[in-house]
């Protein structure tokens, strides 16, 4: 490995609360992630894996340490600049899907493009293609309540990749889905990683879901316990 990694965390800490009741969710995380990697973050509940994910996604701010994204110091960015980072480089998939209610699949997928000021014709076309890529052609005008869980997560993936982000962050993307649907969703995410070179960071607690990744980082008690690449010895 050479040059600047896509993401570098050094000594990241996160503390909730103050004084004696303070809880240290992260106790100094050092991590480097290269462009194009598919990384699974595992660990028991309370190990800090989701907290780390939210910090990586600029949805939350760390208490201490340094976070570099493409060589840029994220903690020095303003609120608006972090919004720009999310807008142009990051895509999110959540466990609870987080689609806008009473809104069609197409409009949900268009949303990030509206914030990117894409003209309406290009926006429609890109959203349509993205829905096609996740296998939802014909479902463009259905709203959240008319879609199954798997379909909702496909819409969420389409919304995340429609902007061709540098990094796709997925927080327990299969947590609310059955085994077969989970496999379909993971196949989709893997495809976007392999075919479009999108870096994937995924939090999960299921070993067979983590098997899709090339690299597995294990968190315990707010620290990195192990960091293995596929093919390396256990």
SS3 state at 56: helix
Q: Which stretch binds another protein (CB under 8 A): 67-75, 108-116, 199-207, 216-224?
A: 108-116
**Binding flag, residue 2, another protein (CB under 8 A):** no
User: Tokens in use for 48?
Assistant: 């800090």
**Binding flag, residue 175, another protein (CB under 8 A):** no
**Binding flag, residue 139, another protein (CB under 8 A):** no
Non-local (6+) Cβ contacts of 222 within 8 A are 14, 24, 25, 26, 27, 29, 47, 48
**Closest distance to another protein from the beta carbon of 220 (Å):** 22
**Residues in contact with another protein, shown as a per-residue x/- string from 56 to 95 under the rule CB under 8 A:** -xxxxx-----------------xx--xx-xxx-x-x-x-
List, in sequence order, every residue forming a beta bridge with 18; answer none if it has no partner.
Answer: none
E-strand spans in 45-137?
Answer: 64-69, 72-73, 90-93
Q: Are the C-beta atoms of 204 and 42 separated by less than 8 Å?
A: yes
Residue whose C-alpha is closest to residue 213's, from 130, 55, 156, 232: 232
Give the one residue of 62, 112, 173, 222 binding another protein; rule: CB under 8 A. Answer: 112
**Binding flag, residue 222, another protein (CB under 8 A):** no
**Residues in contact with another protein, shown as a per-residue x/- string from 149 to 168 under the rule CB under 8 A:** ----------x---------
- C-beta of 116 vs 205, nearer to another protein: 116
Count, residues near another protein per rule CB under 8 A: 30
User: Residue 186 phi/psi, 5° resolution?
Assistant: -65, -35
Q: Are the C-beta atoms of 37 and 199 separated by less than 8 Å?
A: yes
Q: Enumerate residues 182-221 that contact another protein by CB under 8 A.
A: none
Residues that bind another protein (CB under 8 A): 54, 57-61, 79-80, 83-84, 86-88, 90, 92, 94, 98-103, 107, 111-112, 114-117, 159
């Amino acid at each position: 490995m050479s040059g600047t990694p896509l993401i570098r965390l050094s000594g990241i800490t996160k503390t909730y609360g103050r004084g004696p009741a303070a809880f240290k969710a992260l106790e100094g995380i050092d991590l480097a992630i290269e462009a194009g990697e598919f990384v699974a973050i595992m660990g028991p509940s309370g190990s800090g894996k989701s907290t780390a994910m939210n910090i990586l996604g600029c949805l939350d701010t760390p208490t201490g340490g340094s976070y570099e994204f493409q060589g840029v110091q994220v903690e020095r960015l303003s609120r608006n600049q972090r919004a720009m980072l999310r807008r142009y480089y990051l895509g999110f998939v959540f466990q609870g899907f987080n689609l806008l209610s009473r809104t069609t699949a197409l409009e949900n997928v268009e949303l990030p493009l509206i914030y990117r000021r894409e003209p309406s014709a290009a926006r429609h076309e890109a959203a349509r293609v993205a829905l096609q890529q996740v296998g939802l052609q014909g479902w463009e005008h259905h709203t959240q309540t008319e879609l199954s869980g798997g379909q909702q997560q496909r819409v969420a993936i389409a919304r995340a990749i429609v902007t061709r982000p540098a990094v796709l962050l997925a927080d327990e993307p299969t947590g609310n889905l059955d085994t077969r649907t989970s496999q379909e969703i993971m196949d989709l995410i893997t495809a976007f990683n392999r075919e479009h070179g999108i870096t994937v960071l995924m939090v999960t607690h299921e070993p067979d879901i983590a098997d899709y990744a090339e690299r597995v980082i294990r968190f315990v008690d707010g620290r990195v316990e192990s960091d293995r690449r596929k093919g390396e010895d256990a």
